[in-house]
Amino acid sequence: MTKKVLVLAETREGSLRNVSFEAIAAGKKIADGGEVVGVLIGEGVAGIANELIAYGADRVVTVEHPHLKTYTSDGFSQAFMAVVDQESPEAIVFGHTSLGKDLSPKIASKLQSGLISDVTEIEGAGDDAVFIRPIYSGKAFEKVKIKDGIVFVTIRPNNIAPLEKDGGRSGDVAAVSVDITNLRTIIKEVVRKSTEGVDLSEAKVVVAGGRGVKSEEGFEPLKELANLLGGAVGASRGACDAEYCDYSLQIGQTGKVVTPDLYIAAGISGAIQHLAGMSNSKVIVAINKDPEANIFKVADYGIVGDLFEVVPMLIEEFKALKV
């Protein structure tokens, strides 16, 4: 049976995040020929609705309100539930992002539905869709199927490929008006940390440093390598705890989960909690001076050596390749 699927789109600084397009591709599989409706919540977001249609949404519903300018779970849940009431979807897809992880359980409890979180792959389509998700910190995968009721999933960024953009597609864009009330939190101002370059959770290349980097300055060559490869810098908790870098860079069980095409781990031992955040990367390169380091067990390429010698060599080689 075909399904009507609501897909929550996410924006950052006025632009749609890539995970929104991946969520539409996931929605298409679940819809199995049914309708995929993009949902855009915020203030002044209607202008980007057509991009969702270009990436495969059949139409878009917007909810705009001054209280929705920045995310709060109270505000966004009222907005999203207003769309649910209007559309009566059979399935819902969110990104497994900070926002998606916060909002999805709240919506699931309001709908009294189940929730399949952190989906990395969808086999089959429609009623036969099987959702694959990592368990035991990525050591195993389980396959989940919904027997009845609303299909509600969050998808891990960088795993389900978006559909090709087609600027010639057209679809309806309509607004739902909601009175956002009873907010327990009002965001007055967002003070951003000065994060340079590419968003870590969506980066195609991640260069991560661990306690072996030894200091804040030790991260400079890693930043240079990441910039050269168009990627982002990440870190182990060991490096964050030692105050070599900010916790926003932490990758792992209690940090960010990343699945880039290339993950370079420098001076990271490969503790299970770190592997939980990066072991599904497509190609893993580990640099460690200890040949017995656990990280080599998950690495596709291992370099036994001092990172302060190896990373500058890589920088020189990549610079030479770009000439």
Residues annotated in a binding site for FAD? 211, 236-237, 250-254, 267-274, 288
Which is nearer to ligand FAD, 135 or 175 (by Cβ)? 135
CB 242 to ligand FAD: min, Å: 8
Which is nearer to ligand FAD, 93 or 268 (by Cβ)? 268
CB 206 to ligand FAD: min, Å: 13
Q: How far apart are the first and last CA of the chain?
A: 54
Q: Which residues are annotated as a binding site?
A: 211, 236-237, 250-254, 267-274, 288
Residue 65 to residue 75: CA distance in whole angstroms:
9
CB 218 to ligand FAD: min, Å: 9
CB 263 to ligand FAD: min, Å: 13
Give the residues lining the site for ligand FAD (CB under 6 A): 210-212, 236-239, 250, 252-255, 267-269, 271, 273-274, 277, 287-290, 293, 306-308
- In which residue are the tokens 């792992």 written? 252
Which is nearer to ligand FAD, 77 or 269 (by Cβ)? 269
Residue 237 to residue 239: CA distance in whole angstroms:
5
Which is nearer to ligand FAD, 156 or 237 (by Cβ)? 237
Which is nearer to ligand FAD, 7 or 265 (by Cβ)? 265
CB 298 to ligand FAD: min, Å: 13
Residue 68 to residue 60: CA distance in whole angstroms:
17
Q: Which of 221, 321, 300 is nearest to 266 (CA)?
A: 221
Q: Which of 258, 215, 265 is nearest to 236 (CA)?
A: 265
- Up-side HSE of residue 123: CA atoms within 13 Å toward CB? 8
- How would you class 309 by CB atoms within 10 Å of its CB: exposed for 0-12, middle for 13-18, buried for 19 or more? exposed
Residue 176 CB neighbours (<10 A): 17
